[in-house]
Amino acid sequence: MLETILLVVSILLIGIVLLQSNKASDSGQIISGGNATLFQKQKERGVELLITRITVVLGIAFFVISLILFLNS
């Protein structure tokens, strides 16, 4: 039962991470110095905030279920 839930959570986690905006390309500009707004505090709003919160919840659920399965084996 928990294995099935873990499988569903992991698939959802992969999907939601793929939906997030591409922040890696912004991070790549550190070397070239091309992005002055990289370290400015930017608030997430709307859908971005929702996706971030869902990612955190799914990540925590994945960790907890994995830990439970490990301790029960």
Render pLDDT for 4-40 as a digit per residue (tens, 0 to 9).
999 999 999 999 999 887 665 555 555 666 555 555 6
Asked if 5 and 65 touch (Cβ cutoff 8 Å), the reply is yes
Which pTM does this prediction carry? 0.73
Q: Do the beta carbons of residue 3 and residue 69 sit within 8 Å? A: yes
Tell me the DSSP string of 24-69.
HHHHTHHHHT--TTTTS-----THHHHHHHHHHHHHHHHHHHHHHH
Residue-wise pLDDT tens digits, 48-60: 889 999 999 999 9
